[in-house]
Chains A and B, each alone.
Chain A
Amino acid sequence: MFFRLALGNVRKSARDYAVYFITLVLGVAVFYAFNTISDQASFLSTDAREMVQAVGQLMLFVTVFLAFVLGFLMVYANNYLVKRRKQEFGLYQLLGMTRGQVSLVLFLETALASLASFVVGLLTGVLLSQLLVFVTAALFNDRVTNFSFHFSPFAALFTLGCFVLIFVVMLAFNLRMLRKVDLADLMSASRKNEQVRVRSLPATIVLGLVGVGLIGWAYYRLTRDGLPLDGTVEFPPFLVTTLIVCAGTLVFFYGLSGLLFHVSRAFHGAYYRGLNMFTVRQLSSKVNTVSVSMAVISFILFLAIMAVSGGMGICSGLDADTRKANPYDASVVFIYNQGTTIEEGQDTPAQQAMANAGIDFSSFSSQVEYLNVYNPGQVEGGEDLSVSGFAKASGVSPDIPGLSTSTDFSALTYYLMTQSDYNKLRSLNGLDPIDLGESGYLILSSVNASMANFDNAVMAAGTQISLGGRTLSPISSTADAGPSATPADVGAWFDAVVVPDELVSGAELANSIVDMNYSVDSAKGDERYFEETAKLSEMPNTEGQYRFISYGTRNDAIQSSQKTSGMISYLAIYIGFVLVIACAAILAIQQLSSASDAIPSYRLLAELGCPRSMALRSLLVQTLAFFLLPLIVAVAHTVVALRQLIRIISLIGSISWTNAIVTTAVAFVAVYGAYFAITYVTSRGLVTMHSSRARE
């Protein structure tokens, strides 16, 4: 009997449950699909498999977190449903049902709707996960091998677990609400005593302006201070900025309702035209009742947009950066102990070691080059070739943002490189050799963009250095910041100064480097490279002249960066998607329930002779504004925050943000727009169906 009542109720309020249903379906589908990632690994090549499985672990934690977020949002949505049906629940009690029995009906209803959405969601998720394999493969730059239909019992169980979590949280809140209220309250719940308070003109204008002011102040602070990501910005001021923008958003939405009304009424003629007056009043009353949740929604939207676009931007940056930092197919770098020097014409310890090991790179390479990098400290009569030294000599400010403050970077010294070794790097990169002449020098800038700015300024200032009793002048007004500025694939390089060959004789060796470009394809080349270098690592370092050797190929570097970037984009998309769904669902539920509350108003409009098209236009504007208001605020926040993020990240590397932003925008508009469309169509149906008591 209770079951039949519950079933009937779900059917009757199918419309109310629709958004709830759709949201749970999408939630379950996304939870399932993304958590099959560990299983998707079996369709990928072995290299990608390992990374994908690592992401899978992280995914589980994130999912539990998102389940909580979704759970609370659903609590809110369900609250709304129950509130709207208070009178019905009161009637049950009036007819002699106990509270326990009413709770049972509510429990059965929620369970029925949830179970149905879980089943549909899981089916959708299974389909979605088939597609997701290809997305995963693309994110990890891999190809799908041996694809077949797959189902992951683990992911299904895990999703069920999260789902039960959501359900239990929701149920607990609902039952508590039902238990707390009196019968009299339940019965009179539908009577509209919700007062439309339009706050006085000065109050709303002050509130609105304070809100805008606080937001503006937070924007200013953020633009001035930057994001606390790279250690140069302190965290507490950022926290204050965050609090200011939160408070500002809240106050703004609090004052928005009145502001909206007073501003539109200022346009007297337009206000009294058609249904404009009605539209503004309805909207302002709605914004008034849900101002807090609107502020929260706009904030969650902001987080979602930031997560997706920021994540994707960082990834594309990482990829581009890795390629730039690895200009050669493979490198070997010998790192020497302090005080290693060689006589003129003598082989370096590296060359000796490689000769002893019988290494031959040339058999699979089109070009192999041997070169050295020197420490400037021991050069006879050498200037202090450090950041502070250059700063002092040139008058350029040594304040270089983006460099870690943990080390005293101004004491960092530039390496020295001979002109002939530099020309080898140029030739590897397909560039023409240069000639420094008797007294020229060139800075190689490979650290980051802000360091390159410093180097360029030093060269442009015509800063002279003296080395080996000779005074050197820059040969151009810009440093080399291209691929030929990077000595080898391996290691973090500090910048170097290229000087005429004879000036470094007898200098302390920092590194010896072998760079090569393969003549065979990169997979084959890597294989041969590791065969050859294995010989070297088997050789004992008898002389003890070098500290260690590092090996690296471009493929290695790219793969490890793809692992990171794949992981970031995967999480970013996942988190962003769930948050957007949750926000859109809340907006949809609020808008639908207010549309159904407004049915009598639309009926009256029809009776007053308002054409249907005019009434529907008003409904469209209301729905659109309701969806756009939090979005506009969120986008404004995003633009400011993202600019800071771009500024910081572009110091580390060059990034194409267009792709990330366009992708995010498209996906976002699709999901958000779909919810908007469903909401509008449903509420239009609601209004048309019920307002047609008046003959058409």
Chain B
Amino acid sequence: MTKALQVSNVEKVYGGKFGSATHALAGVSFVVDRGEYVAIMGPSGSGKTTLLNCIATIDRPTSGSVIIDGSDITHMRSRQLAQFRREQLGFIFQDSNLLDTLSCRENIALPLTIAHVRASEIDERVVRIATALGVNDVLEKFPYQVSGGQKQRVAACRAMVTNPTLVLADEPTGALDSKNSKLLLERFDALNESYGTTILMVTHDSFAASYCQRVLFIRDGRIFTELRRGNLTRRVFFDQIMGVVATIGGGQDDVL
């Protein structure tokens, strides 16, 4: 069986060729198995967002390859990319990025309608995922009528309703208070357990990272180290993460 994600030796260079170039990513390699729940942590400027963008097909790496579910996305063309994003990827952004003019139900249904799924099936799938994420009762409301936490969970529904190979989350708890963060992360955990959804989350929140099975730390465009939760309790795992964050520094600084 293919891996959900294989990142090999990815480099990303910004800027000119004459010395002024910035190496945002300087050769990153790692693998994510199916059903894994992985966090990427690192201080500001460490390259974690660039890495996520390269995986998300939003940015193109300067060299190296990104293979999702067996297909190399670094050389895909526009039309293929659209289809690939539609079928294999789900995105969750820091600001939930819901369409204002659409109701929550319609926001969740959007990826399915784009993929021309039958209308009757759409209803069923929307309700199923909304129940799993606990937003069933706000489906008929508009994004401006629901709380930030609910919005973020609706966005998560939208990312997962297509059953993508890989769900990419960029600071999903960044704009949430601790109560809503906890609620969202617990739902992710549950979805990951019961449906085997593969989730890759970029965060600088150690608390959020402690829900994952594995945490990759990057610094200066390289993988610095990685932690596996194994059978540890979340509390212990959180302390371990805090330890690494203290070592690489900046982890708490850029919260402010």
**Residues of A near any B CB (own CB < 8 A):** 192-193, 195-196, 268-269, 271-278, 281-282, 284-285, 600-601, 604-612, 614, 693-696
- Nearest-neighbour CB distance to chain B for A684, whole angstroms, equals 16
B5-13, B35-43, B96-104, B206-214: which lies at the A interface?
A: B96-104
A276 to B102, CA, bound (A): 11
Which of B57, B85, B115: most chain A CB closer than 10 A?
Answer: B85
Task: Identify which of residues 66-105 in chain B touch chain A, using a CB-to-CB cut-off of 8 Å.
Answer: 78-79, 81-87, 89, 91, 97, 99-102
Determine if B110 is an interface residue (Cβ-Cβ < 8 Å).
yes
**Interface secondary structure of B, over-half rule:** helix
Enumerate chain B residues within 8 angstroms of A192, measured Cβ to Cβ.
Answer: 100
Of the candidates B111, B118, B122, which one forms a contact with A609 in the assembled complex, judged by CB atoms under 8 Å apart? B111
Known interface pairs A196-B100, A694-B57; A277-B106 also in contact (CB < 8 Å): yes
Enumerate chain A residues within 8 angstroms of B109, measured Cβ to Cβ.
Answer: 272, 277
Tell me if B101 and A281 are in contact (CB < 8 A).
Answer: yes
Tell me if A695 and B57 are in contact (CB < 8 A).
Answer: yes
- Nearest-neighbour CB distance to chain B for A199, whole angstroms, equals 13
Closest 4 CB pairs of A and B: A609-B86, A609-B85, A272-B119, A281-B101
Task: Identify which of residues 113-160 in chain B touch chain A, using a CB-to-CB cut-off of 8 Å.
Answer: 113-116, 118-119, 122, 142, 144, 158
Tell me if A274 and B142 are in contact (CB < 8 A).
Answer: no
Determine if B58 is an interface residue (Cβ-Cβ < 8 Å).
yes
- Nearest-neighbour CB distance to chain A for B92, whole angstroms, equals 11
A273 to B85, CA, bound (A): 18
Tell me if B110 and A277 are in contact (CB < 8 A).
Answer: yes
- Nearest-neighbour CB distance to chain B for A193, whole angstroms, equals 8
Enumerate chain B residues within 8 angstroms of A600, measured Cβ to Cβ.
Answer: 97
Determine if B204 is an interface residue (Cβ-Cβ < 8 Å).
no
Known interface pairs A282-B101, A609-B82, A609-B83; A275-B113 also in contact (CB < 8 Å): yes
Task: Identify which of residues 49-65 in chain B touch chain A, using a CB-to-CB cut-off of 8 Å.
Answer: 56-60
Tell me if A601 and B99 are in contact (CB < 8 A).
Answer: yes
List 20 extra interface pairs beyond A281-B102, A604-B97, A696-B81, CB under 8 A. A192-B100, A195-B142, A269-B118, A272-B112, A272-B119, A273-B119, A277-B109, A277-B110, A601-B101, A605-B114, A606-B82, A607-B56, A607-B58, A608-B114, A609-B81, A609-B82, A611-B83, A612-B82, A694-B85, A695-B60
Enumerate chain B residues within 8 angstroms of A274, measured Cβ to Cβ.
Answer: 113-114, 116
Of the candidates A281, A608, A696, which one forms a contact with B106 in the assembled complex, judged by CB atoms under 8 Å apart? A281
Tell me if A607 and B78 are in contact (CB < 8 A).
Answer: no
Of the candidates B57, B78, B91, B114, which one forms a contact with A614 in the assembled complex, judged by CB atoms under 8 Å apart? B114
Tell me if A278 and B110 are in contact (CB < 8 A).
Answer: yes
A261 to B98, CA, bound (A): 19
27 A–B pairs (Cβ distance < 8 Å), ordered by A: A193-B144, A195-B144, A196-B144, A269-B119, A271-B119, A272-B112, A274-B113, A274-B116, A277-B113, A281-B102, A601-B99, A601-B100, A601-B101, A605-B110, A605-B114, A607-B58, A607-B85, A608-B85, A608-B110, A609-B82, A609-B83, A609-B87, A610-B82, A611-B82, A694-B57, A694-B85, A695-B58
A60 to B141, CA, bound (A): 56
Tell me if A275 and B106 are in contact (CB < 8 A).
Answer: no
Enumerate chain B residues within 8 angstroms of A607, measured Cβ to Cβ.
Answer: 56, 58, 85, 91
**Residues of B near any A CB (own CB < 8 A):** 56-60, 78-79, 81-87, 89, 91, 97, 99-102, 106, 109-116, 118-119, 122, 142, 144, 158
Enumerate chain A residues within 8 angstroms of B99, measured Cβ to Cβ.
Answer: 278, 281, 601, 604
Tell me if A608 and B81 are in contact (CB < 8 A).
Answer: no
- Nearest-neighbour CB distance to chain B for A273, whole angstroms, equals 6
- Nearest-neighbour CB distance to chain B for A374, whole angstroms, equals 80
CB-nearest residue of chain B to A277? B106
Enumerate chain A residues within 8 angstroms of B110, measured Cβ to Cβ.
Answer: 277-278, 605, 608
A608 to B57, CA, bound (A): 11
Enumerate chain A residues within 8 angstroms of B86, measured Cβ to Cβ.
Answer: 608-610
Tell me if B116 and A196 are in contact (CB < 8 A).
Answer: no
Tell me if A695 and B113 are in contact (CB < 8 A).
Answer: no
A278 to B106, CA, bound (A): 8
Tell me if A196 and B81 are in contact (CB < 8 A).
Answer: no
Tell me if B82 and A695 are in contact (CB < 8 A).
Answer: no
Enumerate chain A residues within 8 angstroms of B89, measured Cβ to Cβ.
Answer: 609
CB-nearest residue of chain A to B81? A695
Enumerate chain A residues within 8 angstroms of B78, measured Cβ to Cβ.
Answer: 612, 696
Enumerate chain A residues within 8 angstroms of B113, measured Cβ to Cβ.
Answer: 272-277
Enumerate chain A residues within 8 angstroms of B158, measured Cβ to Cβ.
Answer: 608
A605 to B102, CA, bound (A): 13
Enumerate chain A residues within 8 angstroms of B58, measured Cβ to Cβ.
Answer: 607, 693-695
CB-nearest residue of chain A to B159? A608
- Nearest-neighbour CB distance to chain B for A619, whole angstroms, equals 14
- Nearest-neighbour CB distance to chain B for A196, whole angstroms, equals 5
Enumerate chain B residues within 8 angstroms of A273, measured Cβ to Cβ.
Answer: 113, 116, 119
Which of B83, B87, B97, B99: most chain A CB closer than 10 A?
Answer: B99
Enumerate chain B residues within 8 angstroms of A275, measured Cβ to Cβ.
Answer: 113-114
A268 to B122, CA, bound (A): 11
A600 to B99, CA, bound (A): 9
Enumerate chain B residues within 8 angstroms of A611, measured Cβ to Cβ.
Answer: 79, 82-83
Tell me if A610 and B100 are in contact (CB < 8 A).
Answer: no
Enumerate chain A residues within 8 angstroms of B115, measured Cβ to Cβ.
Answer: 609
Enumerate chain A residues within 8 angstroms of B91, measured Cβ to Cβ.
Answer: 607-608
Enumerate chain A residues within 8 angstroms of B102, measured Cβ to Cβ.
Answer: 277-278, 281
Enumerate chain B residues within 8 angstroms of A277, measured Cβ to Cβ.
Answer: 102, 106, 109-110, 113
A285 to B82, CA, bound (A): 27
CB-nearest residue of chain B to A601? B99
- Nearest-neighbour CB distance to chain B for A133, whole angstroms, equals 51
- Nearest-neighbour CB distance to chain B for A260, whole angstroms, equals 12
A276 to B78, CA, bound (A): 22
- Nearest-neighbour CB distance to chain A for B91, whole angstroms, equals 6
Enumerate chain A residues within 8 angstroms of B112, measured Cβ to Cβ.
Answer: 272
Enumerate chain B residues within 8 angstroms of A610, measured Cβ to Cβ.
Answer: 82, 86, 114
Known interface pairs A277-B110, A278-B99, A610-B114; A268-B59 also in contact (CB < 8 Å): no
